[in-house]
Amino acid sequence: MRGDSHITAAFINSRRLGSYHFGPEHPFKPERMVEVYKMCEARGLFKDPAVRVVDVEEAIEGILERFHTPEYINVLRKADSGTKVDLDMLHYGIGSAENPIFKGVFEFAELSATASLTAARLVACGAESAFNPCGGFHHAHPDRASGFCYVNDVVIAIDELKKNGLKVAYVDIDAHHGDAVQEAYFSDPSVLTISAHETGKTLFPWGGFETEIGEGKGGGFNINIPLEPGSDDDVFLLLFREIVMEALGIFNPDVIVGQFGTDMLVSDPLTHLRLTNNGYIEAIEMLHDTFPRIVAFGGGGYSMNDIVRCWTLLWVEISGQELDEGYGGALGGVFLGDADVHGSDLRDMRSYTSGPEKERLLNESHRLISYFQKEIRPLLE
């Protein structure tokens, strides 16, 4: 992939990835990749000569061996026919309602990892940023599937960037804690891992508390920001500025690997936060302004309308493009509050928590900031 230094941003596309189905009742819909591509294409966001659509339709053989155990890979391969669950599969987290077997599940895992590895290689070889909408499977452990995730493409991508001599920071703003990525680098000071998510007191995977800061030489290089239910844009952006950006400024990475799930939004059916896509994209803008090299993955999100709008805004930001100004009026009506939006008709109307609940949330935010300043920052410096 040498010679890609002229590319500002690469959008990873795959018709095959978008064609898989977890089942009619499952909340994870791979067709999200197709819908995001369609929206970006309709908005003319692939016309700039400095951006490129990179099609990934064939998997790299053996890619899962970069992180996963041979035993797990063999069981996942056995599940590929999608016909029958056995006890061996269930032992490895495969075949439950959470992580169902379906026709092509092994192929899906291989291809999604290949798409993320391709994104990492493009940035390592000179592109400023790359986006794989069908990536960010941050719950997959070396030896088992978990939380809709069969393969940990995030770790595979980070390790590829490290292999290319780049200093990597991982930033995860999915509503669910990035537990398996944390686990992979918990004692490794060469990678800074940061996860802002709904508190494990109320949401899977039931962890990710601020006291989980790494161990051994990795102490201080793992940062968790557990958000209380009801947290809105104000609360999230305060914590993002005071903890995420502060920690990144000290660590000073060459490249950011970002898991940018959309399930923090108020309309997501599986979570309990109250962000709008204004807080979401403003955090990414803040990040990109300071650290222009980003490998971006989609991650969670279970409202297709939110996904398409958020990830179109994400692509606009990391590819250095612009959308027409103005609020179209049709897309934010479910939100109450301030209509002062900046960007385009893809933006939500703002929604704010207020009164005693907001005061409680801000007090908790200041407690987390204080914990970071006293307990974590000294270990980073």
Report the Cα–Cα distance between both ends of the chain, in Å, rounded: 36
Q: Is residue 323 predicted with pLDDT exceeding 60? A: yes
Cα 113 to Cα 78: distance, rounded to the nearest angstrom: 18
pLDDT at 182 over 80: yes
HSE toward the beta carbon, residue 148, CA cutoff 13 A: 20
Domain of residue 136, CATH code: 3.40.800.20
pLDDT band for position 324 (cuts 50, 70, 90): low
Distance CA 312, CA 53 (A): 14
Is residue 175 situated within a structural domain?
yes
Q: Any idea which residue has 């494990």 for tokens?
A: 200
pTM over 0.75: yes
Query: Is 50 exceeded by the pLDDT of residue 284?
Result: yes
The residues annotated as belonging to the active site are 139
The percent of residues above 90 in pLDDT, for the chain, comes to 91
When pLDDT is averaged across residues 320-349 and rounded to a whole number, the result is 58
Q: Is 67 helix (H, G, I), strand (E, B) or coil?
A: coil
| Total structural domains within the chain | 1
Calculate what percentage of the chain has a pLDDT beyond 70.
93
- The rounded mean pLDDT for the chain is 93
Residue 222 domain-assigned (yes or no):
yes
Q: Give a yes or no: residue 80 inside a domain.
A: yes
Question: Before 100, cis peptide (omega within 30)?
Answer: no
- State how far the Cα of 124 lies from the Cα of 163, in Å rounded to an integer: 10
CA dist 247 and 250 (Å) reads 5
- The answer as to whether 2 is a domain residue is no
Q: Residue 191 phi/psi, 5° resolution?
A: -125, 125
Residues in contact with 366: Cβ distance below 8 Å, sequence separation at least 6, in sequence order: none
Residue 272 confidence (pLDDT) above 50: yes
Is the pLDDT at 327 greater than 80, yes or no?
no
pLDDT at 328: 39
Q: Report d(CA 2, CA 215) in Å as an integer.
A: 37
Determine the Cα–Cα distance for residues 167 and 283; give it in Å rounded to an integer: 21
The rounded distance, in Å, linking the Cα atoms of 327 and 329 is 6
The string of pLDDT tens digits covering residues 228-244 is 999 999 999 999 999 99
Is 1 within a domain? no
Provide the pLDDT confidence category of residue 329 given band limits of 50, 70 and 90. Answer: very low
- 305 is a domain residue: yes
Q: Judge whether 3 lies within some domain.
A: no
- Residue at 329 is within a domain: yes
Sign of CA dihedral 230, 233, 238, 240: positive
Q: In this model, does residue 46 exceed pLDDT 70? A: yes
CB neighbourhood size of 188 (10 A): 18
The b/e string for 243-277 (b: 16+ C-beta within 10 A; e otherwise) is: bbbbbbeebebebbbbbbbbbbbbbbeebbbbbbb
pLDDT higher than 60, residue 334: no
Q: Note down the domain range covering 219.
A: 9-380
How large is the average pLDDT for residues 200-222? 98
Counting Cα atoms < 13 Å in the Cβ hemisphere of 258 gives: 32
